[in-house]
Amino acid sequence: MLGFALKQAAPPLHEAAPTRVKQRLLRFAGCVRDPDGNCFYSQTGQDVILAHLPFGHDFDLYVDVGAFRPIKYSNTYYFYQRGWTGIDIEPTSGQIDLFKNLCPRDLNLACAVDRIRGLVRPTTFNDAAVNNADVEMVESAYQFWAISANRRNRRRSLSTG
């Protein structure tokens, strides 16, 4: 009974927590809000910067190379929610299915992008945010994260030729 009374007397976390704690909780949930209440998703604020630029909002189109996930750490989900469409490119096997379900307006491509066409072998780590096909990056990440898969995937060129 005493525990119940304490729970009732305590204010809800979202009311009691200082702003810094609220921001961290929202980041954990996949979103950080600005003072106007807009929800941003990128890992290091790229979507916040792009949203506040005084130019570039006339196109309503984005290309996200190495898209990772449709919401978590997304540089483009803020814009998707506002009606934009885009091209999501993610070479990691299985990730693109998340995009097809959560961002059906977008063109979702399961491939890597390079100057030349061919096959690439992206390395998948136990922390998917570290996945990479660059040999030097993989060797550096290998020191800190375990490899969970190493599969071949298509590599496409962005050039028209």
- Domain edges within the chain: 31-51+60-154
Q: What is the pLDDT of residue 10?
A: 41
Whole-angstrom Cα distance, residue 78 to residue 64? 13
Secondary structure in 3-state letters for 26-39: HHHHCCEECCCCCE
Q: What is the pLDDT of residue 106?
A: 97
pLDDT, tens digit only, all 161 positions of the chain: 333 333 344 444 444 445 565 555 445 556 888 888 888 999 888 999 999 888 877 889 999 998 988 998 899 999 999 999 999 998 876 788 899 999 999 999 988 887 778 777 777 777 777 777 777 776 776 666 666 655 555 555 555 44
Q: What is the pLDDT of residue 89?
A: 92
pTM strictly above 0.85: no
Q: What DSSP assignment string belongs to 83-140?
A: T-EEEEE--STTHHHHHHHH-TTSEEE-SEEESS-EEE-PEEESSGGG-B--HHHHHH
Q: What is the pLDDT of residue 59?
A: 81
